């Protein structure tokens, strides 16, 4: 009886999990379906659209109209570059906060995180003026700096949380064995925190890839990433849903594939230390 009840519960929970997953994935699925339809079929009622002929014409048109690979390359450089720069700063910072805390460490962490609470638009004009005066408008280096700084609080906070899970005694033991600070961080702390660092890296790449406020406002041509590519297909006057969907699919595909292949690492890192 108990076994039967358990089996029923398993079926229900599995069904619920699938339903939730489908619900969350549905918008992406819908975009992908739309992208393979003509503009006329894309605006037709849903059932008509599903039975309408499939076509890759929208992709051909998008590729002909836009330099997709130019946008893509900028996205890769900005996402990976800003993540590596953020890790370079955040690992020592998180180490100091986790293992050498001062009386104000918690306040410092909260202050860092509080910078994320301010709406970006509040500093847009000062940032624009700074970029103009420093000649950084529409440059990759300018955006790398911005994206690094924008995501730095989250990176520091995540790494701090992971580092706190590592027993201090192990680091002390390495010190007693004569390890320098550099060796301690590089050869003892970092290997133990690989799952945490990996998930932070992946999450930060995703955040930087999807960042659409600064990347749209500080670029024009040379440094414009895939967010600008998508924005060029959005229009309040004219139906371009199929082309917009094709552009969106092309923009999200690389990051979805990356997430798919690294999901084990991502989940492991995100749940690291969640259950003691």
Partner 1 sequence: MTNTLRALLGASALCTLTVAAWAEPTTITVATVNNGDMIRMQGLMGEFNALHPDITVEWVTLEENVLRERVTTDIATKGGQFDVLTIGTYEVPIWGNQGWLVSLNDLPPEWDKADLLPAIAGGLTVNGELYAAPFYGESSMVMYRTDLMEKAGLTMPAAPTWADIRTAAEAMTDKDAGIYGICLRGKAGWGENMAFLTAMSNSFGAKWFDADWKPQFDQQPWRDTLTFYLDLMNNFGPPGASNNGFNENLSLFQQGKCGMWIDATVAASFVTGADSTVADSVGFALAPDNGLGKRGNWLWAWSLAIPAGSDSVDAAKTFVAWATSKEYTALVASKEGWANVPPGTRTSLYTNPEYQSVPFAQMTLDSINAADPTAPTVDPVPYTGVQFVAIPEFQGLGTAVGQQFSAVLAGSSTLDDALAAAQTLVTDEMTKAGYIK
CB of 220 to partner 1, least distance (A): 5
d(CA 231, CA 136) in angstroms, rounded, equals: 22
The token duo for 44 is 């037709």
Name every residue whose Cβ is closer than 8 Å to that of residue 229 and which is 6 or more positions away in sequence. Answer: 66, 68, 71, 247, 250, 251
Q: Minimum distance between the CB of residue 241 and partner 1, rounded to whole angstroms?
A: 8
**Burial class of residue 122 (count of CB atoms within 10 Å of its CB; 0-12, 13-18, 19+):** exposed
CA angle 246, 251, 252 (to 5 degrees): 100
Shortest Å distance, C-beta 208 to partner 1: 19
DSSP 188: I
Separation between Cα atoms, residue 156 and residue 203, nearest integer Å: 13
Instruction: Report the nearest approach of partner 1 to the CB of residue 131 (Å).
Output: 8
Is 48 or 263 the residue whose CB approaches partner 1 more closely? 48
Q: Which is nearer to partner 1, 10 or 65 (CB)?
A: 65
Which CB, 43 or 270, lies closer to partner 1? Answer: 43
Instruction: Compute the least distance from the CB of residue 232 to partner 1, in Å.
Output: 4
**Least distance from C-beta 222 to partner 1, angstroms?**
9
Asked if 184 contacts 193 with a C-beta cutoff of 8 angstroms, the reply is: no
CB of 64 to partner 1, least distance (A): 9
CB nearer to partner 1: pick between 194 and 239: 239
**Interacting residue ranges for partner 1, rule: CB under 8 A:** 38-40, 43-45, 65, 124-125, 128-129, 132, 137-138, 216-217, 220-221, 224, 228, 231-240
Minimal CA–CA distance to 232: which of 61, 110, 19? 61
Nearer to partner 1, 171 or 252 (CB): 252
Alpha-carbon span 35 to 248, nearest angstrom:
9
Which of 169, 237 has the CB closer to partner 1? 237
Q: What's the burial of 20, exposed, middle or buried (CB within 10 Å: 0-12/13-18/19+)? A: exposed
For partner 1, which is the closer residue by CB, 151 or 219? 219
Which sign does the torsion angle of CA 62, 67, 71, 72 carry?
Answer: positive
């Amino acid at each position: 009886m108990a076994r039967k009840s358990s089996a029923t519960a398993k079926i229900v929970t599995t069904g619920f999990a699938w339903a939730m997953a489908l619900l969350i994935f549905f918008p992406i699925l819908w975009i992908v379906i739309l992208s393979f339809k003509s503009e006329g079929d894309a605006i037709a009622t849903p059932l008509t659209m599903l039975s309408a002929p499939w076509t890759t014409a929208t992709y051909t048109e998008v590729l002909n109209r836009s330099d997709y690979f130019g946008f893509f390359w900028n996205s890769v450089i900005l996402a990976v570059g800003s993540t590596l720069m953020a890790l370079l700063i955040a690992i020592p910072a998180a180490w100091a906060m986790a293992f050498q805390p001062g009386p104000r460490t918690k306040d410092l962490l909260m202050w860092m995180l509080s910078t994320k609470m301010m709406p970006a638009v509040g500093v847009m004009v000062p940032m624009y003026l700074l970029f103009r005066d420093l000649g950084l408008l529409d440059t990759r280096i300018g955006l790398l700096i911005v994206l690094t700084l924008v995501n730095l609080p989250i990176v520091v906070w995540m790494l701090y949380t992971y580092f706190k899970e590592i027993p201090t005694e192990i680091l002390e033991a390495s010190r007693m064995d004569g390890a320098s600070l550099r060796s301690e961080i590089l050869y003892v702390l970092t290997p133990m925190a690989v799952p945490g660092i990996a998930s932070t890296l992946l999450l930060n790449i995703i955040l930087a890839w999807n960042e659409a406020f600064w990347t749209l406002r500080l670029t024009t041509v040379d440094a414009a990433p895939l967010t600008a590519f998508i924005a060029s297909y959005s229009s309040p006057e004219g139906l371009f849903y199929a082309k917009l969907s094709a552009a969106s699919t092309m923009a999200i595909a690389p990051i979805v594939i990356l997430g798919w292949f690294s999901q084990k690492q991502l989940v492991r890192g995100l749940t690291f230390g969640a259950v003691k």
